Amino acid sequence: MDDIDDLMRLATVMGLNGGVLRARDHPQSRGAFAELVRSGAIVRVLPGTFVDERLRASRLTRCAAALATYPGALLWGTDAVGALCGTLDAIPFDDNEPVQLVHHQSRHSAPSIRWTRRRVQSEHRVRIGALRAPSARYLAVEAAARDSGALIERFLRDGRIKPSELADVLPALAGSAGQARRRRVVRVSGDNPWSGGERELLALLRRHRITGWVANAELVVDQVRCFPDVLFEHARLVVEFDGYAVHAKPEVFEADRRRQNRLVLAGYRVLRYTWKQLTETPEALIAELRAALACEIASDSHPG
């Protein structure tokens, strides 16, 4: 009876821990633990750490196992992003690939773990179930040294971070490589760009001192929420950047047309620009935009 009770208790603990068991945590249940190993119900994946055989290919479970083995560590890189976004199990885990972890001290390299040495302060640590990771804003700002703000844009688009939160992360990364680039990216991210193209468009508006706009602010049209790339509310003017890689997708193409029709019927004018127009003929883009804004001013000055 005791062995059955121990087996049930271990199964409960394993379920609460994301499918992970550590031998040293259950010295009073050595017999039941050994039985689970002998039967193949659990398999060893790291020193002293076992996982439910049925979850062996689960990336979430393997990340939880790594964190259980190294209690002071956090997930890092794409593993941390997957944990924050709930997408860890989108791709099965292969026994030959490493889990990405970060710790402030040097660690011995191992085939199953890829270590990054960095101190992540307690205020920038979060828990997601059985997982530990840096906060979304910390990861995004840290990555800006290498990805020019791509992760910041993704998290802004997903609503995981706010532009106002980013600057507070910079002191935590002081002295690390790429800090000057991070500062530049954080500065321009204050405008709330959701893509690299939008970032360039907003920078162009600022260079030409065009004001009175907000980026990706919520707008409710006909009881439907939308987030125009750039909105000049006073002029009832929306400016959209259409990157081919995203907007050429059938579902995005259809959604764009529905949204534009709603905006037009609600009294908004819509201007759309491509990457080629933005990068090859920016002066023409600015001239057209100024004309649209001037047209609205003129109509306001001469009411019907």
What pTM value is reported for the model? 0.85
Q: How many CA within 13 A on the CB side of residue 92?
A: 7
Q: On the CB side of 37, how many CA atoms lie within 13 Å of its CA?
A: 14
Q: What are the residue boundaries of the structural domains of the chain, listed by start? A: 2-133, 135-189, 196-301
**pLDDT (tens digit, 0 to 9) for every residue of the chain, 304 residues total?**
356 777 888 888 888 888 899 988 888 888 888 888 999 999 999 999 999 999 999 999 999 999 999 999 999 999 999 999 999 999 999 988 999 999 998 777 677 899 999 999 999 999 998 899 999 999 999 999 999 999 999 999 999 999 999 999 999 999 999 999 999 999 999 999 999 999 999 999 999 999 999 999 999 998 889 999 999 999 999 999 987 555 556 776 788 888 899 999 999 999 999 999 999 999 999 999 999 999 865 555 555 5
DSSP 93: P
Beta strands in 165-287 (DSSP E): 214-215, 219-221, 224-226, 230-232, 237-242, 269-274
* Tokens describing residue 220: 């409710």
Length of the chain: 304
Which fold would CATH assign to domain 196-301?
Answer: Endonuclease; Chain A (3.40.960)
